[in-house]
Amino acid sequence: MSEESVHPEADAIADLIGPEHSSIQREMAAHAREESFPIVGPRVGAWLMTLAGTVGADRVFEFGSGFGYSASWFLRGMGPDGEVVLTEIDADELALAERYFETAGEADRARFERGDAIEIVESYDGPFDVVLLDNEKDRYQEAFEAVEGKLRPGSVVVADNVLAGPTDRGAVRALLEGESLPETGDTSRGIAAYLRHVRDRPGETVLVPFGEGLSVTHIVE
């Protein structure tokens, strides 16, 4: 679970509104707590579900899926023919994701790909309606550029951990303002580079202050 939240008060209110975990998501969340495995949590998950439904997503691609928690939320917002591509470099995590999806009766709505997501996406044709970036933070821009040609006008790209967690938001702000920070780690530099990239391209990018912070980029061309 995420240990840091951008806005705890917003999280508390979101908890009171819902929606609640499905039975398989409760198992996933329990596993995450037991293993101290970072997941987006139900507040961000419910937002991803709503996003998928709002854009009428038929295909979602995840750069980094762990054991499938965020993908399960996407599927809750998609129609019966919707498909999510999960990518994960850890074979055990990917196998666990597949078992969870089989238990939930949703394995036929997912593709489970082991390896580097940036390499995997090259083997797929577009378009994707929603893309989630949750791989190495210093490779977010590289991931965006790898999938950019497989998006359509109206597609949405969501990047996790842009304001908290492994990211120093003070450093990100300074870097976006043009300051030089020689002591800043690769994570904050990578997030700043990504935010600068999507800010300066066509379309709109906004920040969503749930969990550890999301950036959401709307593709217009």
127 lies in some domain: yes
Whether 15 has a pLDDT exceeding 90, the answer reads: no
Range of the domain at 172: 8-218
1 lies in some domain: no
- Count other Cβ atoms within 10 Å, centred on residue 89: 16
| E strands present in the chain | 59-63, 83-88, 110-114, 128-133, 151-160, 204-208, 214-218
Total domains present in the chain: 1
In the sheet where 110-114 sits, what is the strand order?
A: 110-114, 83-88, 59-63, 128-133, 151-160, 214-218, 204-208
3 lies in some domain: no
The better pLDDT of the pair 170, 66 is held by 66
Residue 18 token pair? 């819902």
87 lies in some domain: yes
Q: What is the mean pLDDT of residues 145-172?
A: 93
Give the pLDDT score at 1.
Answer: 38
Q: Are 114 and 66 within 8 A, CB to CB? A: no
Give the pLDDT score at 123.
Answer: 97
| Domain harbouring 200, CATH code | 3.40.50.150
What element of type H or E holds 98?
helix 91-103
128 lies in some domain: yes
2 lies in some domain: no
For 66-94, the pLDDT digits (tens) are 999 999 999 999 999 999 999 999 999 99
Residue with token string 């870097």: 175
Q: Are 1 and 33 within 8 A, CB to CB? A: yes
pTM: 0.93
